[in-house]
Amino acid sequence: MKRPLLPLALTLLATTSAMAKDRATFRHTPSQDEERPVVVDATVGPQGSDFALRLRFQKPPFGPECGTRCANATVLLDTDASARSGLKLSDKAPENGADLAIIIQGTRDMSGASADSYLRVKVRQLADGARTVEEGELIAELDHRRDSDRVHVEDNTVFLLIDASNNLPSGRKVRVVYHPPGGKALQATIPGMLSGSANRGKVMIFRRGGWGKARQVQTEGK
């Protein structure tokens, strides 16, 4: 008998309720029969000229444990918080307006004598009118083995720093969308690159080169 999905929870971590939140945390409880690693806890926020992400999966996102069904998660950023630019799906789709897609994939490198499992992160910029994420321009492809300053993995947790200086639409707010499998899309608003918060060092989810010092995600308020 399949266990139904538990309610999804979205917690916004903020200094005041009147401002865009400094960072957002999404939490999702997958069904027990979910075979693929999925994000169960994600923290997203601006950090300098980057977007910082801390993603925790319910099982290792790559490697022998997941076999051929490893992580394949997408976080969308609407970098100017405007539906007029970026992705265009159906009229009321929460993904509309996304300008940047961050795709996290557990995969294998078949080029050597033996298959080497690794974590790949693709970053696609979504031009106005793009109908799918795949239509976006690939502006970065990161590999946790060689891009250790941008991608770091600790057990089931993935830390990312995504460059936001590639002529992206900018605004004072950024809308974050995460659509877990089998659930409804979760949305939150964080400061944009024009807000000044990131450049003032107000938000520091973790320190580049000091991944082990990442701040613990706060618990949900009652």
In a domain, 214, yes or no: no
Domain of 73?
9-200
Q: Which two tokens mark 6?
A: 């538990």
In a domain, 185, yes or no: yes
In a domain, 78, yes or no: yes
In a domain, 222, yes or no: no
In a domain, 205, yes or no: no
| Average pLDDT of the residues of the chain | 81
- DSSP characters for 107-134? EEE-SSSS-EEEEEEEEEE--TT--SGG
Q: What is the DSSP letter of 212?
A: G
Identify the CA nearest to 77 among candidates 181, 174, 198, 189.
Answer: 174
Amino acid at 187: Q
* Residue 36: how many other CB atoms lie within 10 Å: 18
Q: What are phi and psi of 141, to 5 degrees?
A: -135, 110
In a domain, 206, yes or no: no
In a domain, 217, yes or no: no
* Predicted confidence (pLDDT) at residue 211 exceeds the cutoff of 70: no
Return the pLDDT at 193. 84
Return the pLDDT at 14. 30
Q: What is the DSSP letter of 127?
A: -
Domain count, the chain: 1
pLDDT digits (tens, 9 = 90+) for 127-166: 998 999 999 999 999 999 999 989 999 999 999 999 988 8
Which residue(s) pair with 41 in the sheet? 27, 56
* Predicted confidence (pLDDT) at residue 221 exceeds the cutoff of 70: no
Q: Tell me if 8 sits within 8 A of 180, measured CB to CB.
A: yes
In a domain, 60, yes or no: yes
Confidence of residue 101 (pLDDT cuts 50, 70, 90): very high
Lowest mean pLDDT among 19-28, 191-200, 203-212: 203-212
